[in-house]
Amino acid sequence: MATSDFIRDSFARLHKSLQDSTSDLTVEQLNFTPDQEHHSIAWILWHAYRTADVIGSRLLWQSDERWARDGWASRLGMPEAGQGTGHSPDEAHAIHIEDLGTFMGYADGVIADCDAYLAPMSDEDLQQPRPWRNAPSGEEPIAAIIGNHVMTHIYGHRNEIYWLRSLQGLKGSPN
């Protein structure tokens, strides 16, 4: 299996697990926060897909973010800029998803953008460097940015969703 195919399959599986872990939630469960210091599932979903959109659009395929290009902020009543890194608890608690189906339309598009970008890439293409501010050299290969800074990050947040589900008396992780 080519590396790009592996990454594409991994993105599809990650997206499916986020869909599966949230599709049965009510609006109240989606926006539940256990206390002032923790985020809601809604914030986590928004942050996860915004992170993939921001990093992909700005650093990899170098286009406008889907969020801005398709007017998702106004459609969902959410901030036009940013993706939550550095949010205060009050800012994070202000993020609400009232219509999960509509939000997941945005998420589907982000995953489609990732897939379209990765589909034609060779292993050599995935080793091309891109700027990354925290890298010792100031750059990292495309594969490392996708794997270490997008997918691993989102998988961690997916586990938070399972934890937040369990706090509400719902089934957490399917395993």
Residue 7 lies in a domain: no
- Name the strand (E) or helix (H) holding 130: strand 129-131
Residue 12 lies in a domain: no
Residue at token pair 């982000």: 110
Residue 98 lies in a domain: yes
With b meaning 16 or more CB within 10 Å and e meaning fewer, what string describes 11-40? beebbebbeebbeebeeebbbbbeeeebbb
Residue at token pair 């589907």: 108
In the numeric block, which tokens belong to residue 59? 């650093």
**pLDDT at residue 87, as a whole number:** 87
Residue 3 lies in a domain: no
What's the Cα-to-Cα distance from 65 to each of 6, 50, 62, rounded to whole Å? 24, 9, 9
Residue 67 lies in a domain: yes
Residue 20 lies in a domain: no
Full pLDDT tens readout for the chain, 175 residues:
889 999 999 999 999 999 999 999 999 999 999 998 899 999 999 999 999 999 999 999 999 999 999 999 999 999 988 788 888 889 889 999 999 999 999 999 999 999 999 999 999 999 999 999 888 999 999 999 999 999 999 999 999 999 999 999 999 888 7
Residue 11 lies in a domain: no
**pLDDT at residue 169, as a whole number:** 96
**pLDDT at residue 54, as a whole number:** 95
In angstroms, the CA 138 to CA 121 distance is: 23
Report the 3 state secondary structure along 52-110.
HHHHHHHHHCCCCCHHHHCCHHHHHCCCCCCCCCCCCHHHHHCCCCCCHHHHHHHHHHH
CATH number at residue 59: 1.20.120.450
- Assessment of whether the complete model's pTM goes beyond 0.85: yes
**149 lies in which domain range?**
36-167
Residue 174 lies in a domain: no
Domain count, the chain: 1
**pLDDT at residue 129, as a whole number:** 95
